[in-house]
């Protein structure tokens, strides 16, 4: 469960960035209370899309914000903010936006600025929407399904990639979905990757802290994934 991951990260003094799908939060008072408690402890929150996750099909389907123009993206982002406000979260509580599928259109970036959000974290970059600065930072995602052997290979590959990134002082973004956090393999791989980064001198921080934190030999961000009913 995601709470087990955050407990282990708390022991390491590593803050987390929670990705919230807004429709899930007002439906669960317990989840909303838990998210607010995490904010009080120094974590932050990013909006993770608005609509339901896309279902897989033979024809495929683009992620929700991958190709939206600014007007339509703005409507969805405004609706997402309103949903979180009903759960007791305000715009100042929200650090930014993480698009489903890790892809955000230029129109989405424009809409996020208009809505007053601070940053957008896609699959390879972190966009500071106030200054226009773009930080190169690939996401290292744990889990993903498949056979146990394939999962083990992917987790090991993430550990190697994190070690290389930490040694060259890069921003390290670790991500685990709430559904994968319940699996012992991906969960342990995430914690091992955090330990590898910390041993290499990474400075734990949330997205909100990225532009103000004192940067050491390496930089780190931990994203425990989408907080949903699985928490």
pLDDT attached to residue 219: 65
Q: Which element (helix H / strand E) includes 174?
A: strand 171-176
Q: Which element (helix H / strand E) includes 173?
A: strand 171-176
pLDDT attached to residue 23: 76
pLDDT attached to residue 152: 87
Strands 125-128 and 119-121: antiparallel
Residues near 227 by Cβ (< 8 Å), separated by ≥ 6? 2, 18, 19, 20, 24, 25, 31, 34, 35, 178
The helix/strand/coil state of 132 is coil
pTM of the predicted model, to two decimals? 0.87
Of the candidates 98, 69, 77, 84, the one whose C-alpha atom is nearest the C-alpha of residue 22 is: 84
**Range with the poorest average pLDDT among 44-48, 117-121, 144-148, 171-175:** 144-148
Q: Which residue has the higher pLDDT, 210 or 89?
A: 89
Cβ-contact 186, 176 below 8 angstroms: yes
Domains and CATH numbers, the chain: 2-227 (3.20.20.370)
Q: Which element (helix H / strand E) includes 40?
A: helix 29-40
pLDDT attached to residue 56: 46
Average of per-residue pLDDT across 173-190:
90
pLDDT attached to residue 51: 77
DSSP 85-106: HHTT--GGGEEEE--GGG---H
pLDDT attached to residue 191: 95
Q: Per-residue pLDDT tens for 92-139?
A: 889 999 999 999 999 999 999 999 998 999 999 999 998 899 999 999
Residue 43 has pLDDT above 50, yes or no: yes
Q: Which residue has the higher pLDDT, 147 or 191?
A: 191
pLDDT above 90 covers a percentage of the chain that reads 60
């Amino acid at each position: 469960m995601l709470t087990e991951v955050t407990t282990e990260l708390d022991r390491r003094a590593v803050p987390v960035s929670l990705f919230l799908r807004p429709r899930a939060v007002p439906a669960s008072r317990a989840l909303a209370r838990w998210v607010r408690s995490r904010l009080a402890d120094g974590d932050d929150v990013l909006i993770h899309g608005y609509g339901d996750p896309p279902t897989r099909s033979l024809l495929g389907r683009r992620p929700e914000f991958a190709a939206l123009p600014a007007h339509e993206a703005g409507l969805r982002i405004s609706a997402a903010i309103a949903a979180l406000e009903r759960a007791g979260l305000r715009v100042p509580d929200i650090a930014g936006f993480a698009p489903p599928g890790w892809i955000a259109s230029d129109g989405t970036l424009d809409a996020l600025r208009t809505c007053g959000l601070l940053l957008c974290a896609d699959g390879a970059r972190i966009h500071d929407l106030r200054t226009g600065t773009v930080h190169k930072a690939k996401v290292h995602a744990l889990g993903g399904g498949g056979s146990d052997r394939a999962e083990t290979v992917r987790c090991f590959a993430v550990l190697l990639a994190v070690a290389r990134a930490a040694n060259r002082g890069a921003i390290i973004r670790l991500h685990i979905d709430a559904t994968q956090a319940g699996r012992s393999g991906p969960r342990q791989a995430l914690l091992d990757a955090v330990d590898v980064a910390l041993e290499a001198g990474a400075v734990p921080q949330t997205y909100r802290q990225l532009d103000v934190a004192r940067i050491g030999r390496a930089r780190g961000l931990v994203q425990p994934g989408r907080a949903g009913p699985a928490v």
